[in-house]
Amino acid sequence: MGKVVLVTGVARQLGGRFVRRIQRDPEVDRVIGVDAVPPAHQLGDADFVRADIRQPAIGRVLAEYGVDTVVHMDVTGTPLGAGGRTAVKETNVIGTMQLLGACQKSPTVSRLVVKSSTSVYGSAPRDPAVFMETTPPKSLPSGGFAKDACEVEGYVRGFARRRPDVAVCVLRFANILGPSADSPLAEYLSLPVLPTVFGYDPRLQFVHEDDVIEVLRIAAHEPRRSTLNSGTFNVAGDGVLTLSQCSRRLGRPTVPVLLPAVTWVGQALRTVGVTDFSPEQIRLLTHGRVVSTAQMRETLGYEPKYTTAEAFEDFARSRGPGLLPPGALAGAVDRIAAWALPLPGGGGDAKTTHSAG
Amino acid sequence: MADAKVIPFDDDRSRAGAPRWGRRRPGTGGGRRSGEKGAPTAAGEPGTAPGGAGARDAAVSPLPGRPADDAVPGAEQQDVKRGAGGGQGSAGGGVERDWERRIAGGLAFLRRRITGEYEVDEFGYDEDLTDQVLMSLLRPLYEKYFRVEVKGIENIPAEGGALVVANHSGTLPLDGLMMQVAVHDNHPVGRHLRLLAADLVFMLPVVNELARKAGHTLACAEDAERLLQRGEVVGVMPEGFKGIGKPFSDRYKLQRFGRGGFVSTALRAGAPIVPCSIVGAEEIYPMLGNAKTLARVLGIPYFPITPTFPWLGPLGMVPLPTKWTIQFGEPIPTDGFPPEAAEDPMLMFNLTDQVREQIQHTLYKLLVQRRSVFF
């Protein structure tokens, strides 16, 4: 008998993609997609059940279909359609509580996969440069999605204690990028001019959507030989990009804003509905965050297909060129080189020093 | 200071010569830097004149009161330099080509920077920027202002991790930066020193950005161990704020070495500990007093009062042009200990004391040899 997989949050692009992918796996019999709103995209042969995971009805869904694997992807930072931050928080926290309660009652559930985020580490100047899964955060996230993710992980740990027979896998994803990403950071990077915090150049790490789907699949199935897929894992592409590198590769100019004024700018942008500039988002763009993916490689046995730079490149291609396309700038420098090089002397040094920032 | 003792005649020139030519390692660095080095020799033959003088000094050198090993590397470096100079000269008409190389290097750098096509590591270390810009900005201070003399650079291993432990002084952490330039410019295989810095550095805007790009990271066990396991040379100043913010009257008296965490980190990584003594940094800002209340208000560990600082405003922030010596001592191996040794507090204290005493001892030795604070 094959597996019955229940996926929450299928109305989002990523959830939809995961449902379409996992139903092609031979060991999966049936896929049930759950969300409070009907998805705009195709779900293939999967059954869609319109249920709000904040309601106890989710327990009946589990029992009715005899679900044995639950993939909880409805932990997100951005609201889907209408509803503000409160609705998102409700879905993240209350939804997780209801879902875990239902799972605890269900005799058939044997595997739980939770999509979390590396934002649970917070970001502060006193933090070590690279977070391991075991690193305790120096300053807990004060609010926003990061706090939700912390609370969700807390409930999941409680659940794992009460149901030791269920394999629980918490996947902490770095910032997810890709052609269809809808995370707050993707929205930020799509702004024509990027407001940055003056005097800080955060280190960022990205993970490509394709890798997210693959890691979720590995976690949802039985572990392969000599790997283990229960526990907590950081998931991120190799390497690091600084925000200044990102803006240059995107060709979008930056506007450094002094730290005290950043919150006002963020608020102003939020009121005109451009993007979600939560305090936690601002902290990420101030101090940055890098995680170690050693556990993902060694224990989970997954090698990401995209590095941070490649995931970013794919995202940049999908967004089109910015105001200062890097290709054009490189061309300009090449023209200067062609013009300057036959001549001895000239301001080579001056240029080098000016481009220091 | 009253520690000026032996004044060997003509000593200064050979001393000043050593680090300058020591930097001349062939075949390393980007286009711009190699061009910059090539320039004086290619410009004409006067390159050999100071060389001759230097060699004469070196030959005369072993004077009483000066260790012989000071003179010998000087002589060797002269030979290396002459060889390089000869090669440059035989190329012929190098000036024009040299300029072209510099411009091409500069433009290639500019192209990399504006398109973002450069690499940073997980600590934010931007090797391209550090080599091309940050080190070039610090070099005048290192060469011309503090005239840093480096000894025992060969004690930093050519490969694998090592923990360089140094004394800390000078109100502003210039000693760390100078140590970084010293390793960068003098080490035969061009190793990069990765400094561990206080959390204050990472709270300040601009400073934190530059520190990360220059390869510094937070002084915590996790980061240090990670760097050592990657086989980097890590620099640490365990005295911390106690050392850098100590009053002028306590100069060259090593403070407590934290809790000795650096020893257990080195033990866990099996990396040798290289003690490093820095002379000269203590006098750049003679700290006569500490406005503690003001420091508390500003949220900084100390607020220095020097003969010039608050009184002359920004002009008071100009450091005194002291003459520096950076001596890297014999490495202390840590790979002979069993794995559980890192948990043994007694051993930790002993090793910490050993490192501390070696640095203090070398400091006194260097102070005795020093002729004056400024020359």
Q: Flag whether B191 is in a domain.
A: yes
Give the end of a domain, one of B85, B117, B149.
B117
B336 and B208 fall within a common domain? yes
pLDDT in tens, A54-113: 888 899 999 999 999 999 998 887 777 666 778 888 889 999 999 999 999 999 999 999
Q: Which residues of chain B make contact with A253, given a CB cutoff of 8 A?
A: none
Is the minimum CB–CB distance between A321 and chain B shorter than 8 Å? Answer: no
B185 and B44 fall within a common domain? no
pLDDT at A214: 95
SS3 state at A50: strand
CATH for B214: 3.40.1130.10
Q: How many domains does chain B have?
A: 2
Instruction: Tell me which residue in A197, A201, A348 faces B102 most closely, judged by beta carbons.
Output: A348
B32 and B105 fall within a common domain? yes
pLDDT at A154: 93
Closest chain A C-alpha to B279 CA, distance in angstroms: 30
B137 and B105 fall within a common domain? no
Is the minimum CB–CB distance between A348 and chain B shorter than 8 Å? Answer: yes
Closest chain B C-alpha to A37 CA, distance in angstroms: 40
Is the minimum CB–CB distance between A155 and chain B shorter than 8 Å? Answer: no
Exposure of B260 in the CB half-sphere (CA atoms within 13 A)? 18
Give the end of a domain, one of B87, B117, B147.
B117
Kindly identify which residue of chain A lies nearest to residue B207, measuring between CA atoms: A199
Distance CA A236, CA A217 (A): 16
Is the minimum CB–CB distance between A247 and chain B shorter than 8 Å? Answer: yes
Per the CB < 8 Å rule, is A129 touching B204? Answer: no
Closest chain A C-alpha to B117 CA, distance in angstroms: 8
Q: Flag whether B304 is in a domain.
A: no
Displacement of CA A106 from its chain's centroid (Å): 29
Q: Flag whether B307 is in a domain.
A: no
B161 and B102 fall within a common domain? no
Q: Which residues of chain A make contact with B105, given a CB cutoff of 8 A?
A: 348
Q: Flag whether B19 is in a domain.
A: yes
Cβ-Cβ contacts under 8 Å for A123 (sequence gap 6 or more): A202, A283, A284, A286, A287, A288, A289
Per the CB < 8 Å rule, is B133 touching A333? Answer: no
Per the CB < 8 Å rule, is A201 touching B205? Answer: no
Beta carbon pairs, A and B, within 8 Å: 140
Instruction: Tell me which residue in B103, B204, B222 faces A128 most closely, judged by beta carbons.
Output: B222
B110 and B219 fall within a common domain? no
pTM for this predicted structure:
0.80
Distance CA B330, CA B310 (A): 41
Task: For chain B, give the number of residues.
Answer: 375
Q: In the predicted model, is pLDDT for residue A3 greater than 60?
A: yes
Give the end of a domain, one of B117, B150, B181.
B117
Distance CA A19, CA A220 (A): 12
Instruction: Tell me which residue in A135, A334, A345 faces B99 most closely, judged by beta carbons.
Output: A345
CB atoms within 10 A of CB A70: 28
pLDDT at B343: 87
Per the CB < 8 Å rule, is B115 touching A201? Answer: no
Distance CA A157, CA A151 (A): 10
Is the torsion defined by CA of A117, A121, A127, A132 positive or negative?
negative
Give the A window 281-320 contacts with B, CB below 8 Å.
287-288, 290
Closest chain A C-alpha to B294 CA, distance in angstroms: 22
Per the CB < 8 Å rule, is A352 touching B106? Answer: yes
Is the minimum CB–CB distance between A256 and chain B shorter than 8 Å? Answer: no
Is the minimum CB–CB distance between A356 and chain B shorter than 8 Å? Answer: yes
Which residues form the domain of B69? 11-117
Q: Flag whether B86 is in a domain.
A: yes
Kindly identify which residue of chain B lies nearest to residue A353, measuring between CA atoms: B133
DSSP letter at A240? B
Long-range contacts of B106-109, Cβ-Cβ distance < 8 Å, separation of 24 or more: B106/A348, B106/A349, B106/A351, B106/A352, B106/B31, B106/B32, B107/A333, B107/A336, B107/A337, B107/A340, B107/A348, B107/A351, B108/B31, B109/A352, B109/A355, B109/B30, B109/B32
B145 and B26 fall within a common domain? no
Per the CB < 8 Å rule, is B111 touching A330? Answer: yes
Q: Flag whether B301 is in a domain.
A: no
Closest chain B C-alpha to A79 CA, distance in angstroms: 32
Is the minimum CB–CB distance between A330 and chain B shorter than 8 Å? Answer: yes
- Ranges A3-7, A98-102, A344-348, B111-115: which has the least confidence: A344-348
Q: Flag whether B324 is in a domain.
A: yes
ipTM: 0.85
Closest chain A C-alpha to B366 CA, distance in angstroms: 36
Kindly identify which residue of chain A lies nearest to residue B114, measuring between CA atoms: A248
B337 and B259 fall within a common domain? yes
Mutation target for A interface from B36, B102, B107: give the one with most A CBs within 10 A.
B107
B56 and B98 fall within a common domain? yes
B211 and B278 fall within a common domain? yes
B19 and B81 fall within a common domain? yes
Positions in chain B short of pLDDT 70: 1-93
pLDDT at A269: 73
pLDDT at A191: 86
pLDDT in tens, A216-271: 999 999 998 888 889 999 999 999 999 999 999 999 999 998 877 877 777 777 77
Q: Flag whether B356 is in a domain.
A: yes
Is the minimum CB–CB distance between A125 and chain B shorter than 8 Å? Answer: yes
Per the CB < 8 Å rule, is A199 touching B102? Answer: no
- Ranges A11-20, A187-196, B44-53, B214-223: which has the least confidence: B44-53
Is the minimum CB–CB distance between A137 and chain B shorter than 8 Å? Answer: no
Instruction: Tell me which residue in B106, B137, B208 faces A351 most closely, judged by beta carbons.
Output: B106
Q: Which residues of chain A make contact with B96, given a CB cutoff of 8 A?
A: 344
Q: In the predicted model, is pLDDT for residue A120 greater than 60?
A: yes
Q: Which residues of chain A make contact with B204, given a CB cutoff of 8 A?
A: 199
pLDDT in tens, A268-324: 777 776 666 677 888 888 999 999 999 999 999 999 999 999 999 999 998 888 888
pLDDT at A342: 65
Instruction: Tell me which residue in A125, A245, A247 faces B202 most closely, judged by beta carbons.
Output: A125
Is the minimum CB–CB distance between A132 and chain B shorter than 8 Å? Answer: yes
Per the CB < 8 Å rule, is A326 touching B220? Answer: no
pLDDT at B152: 94
pLDDT at A76: 83
B93 and B181 fall within a common domain? no
Per the CB < 8 Å rule, is B116 touching A340? Answer: no
Instruction: Tell me which residue in B102, B118, B205 faces A199 most closely, judged by beta carbons.
Output: B205
The CA-based angle A35-A39-A40, given to 5 degrees, is: 165
Instruction: Tell me which residue in A126, A240, A344 faces B122 most closely, judged by beta carbons.
Output: A240
Closest chain B C-alpha to A198 CA, distance in angstroms: 7
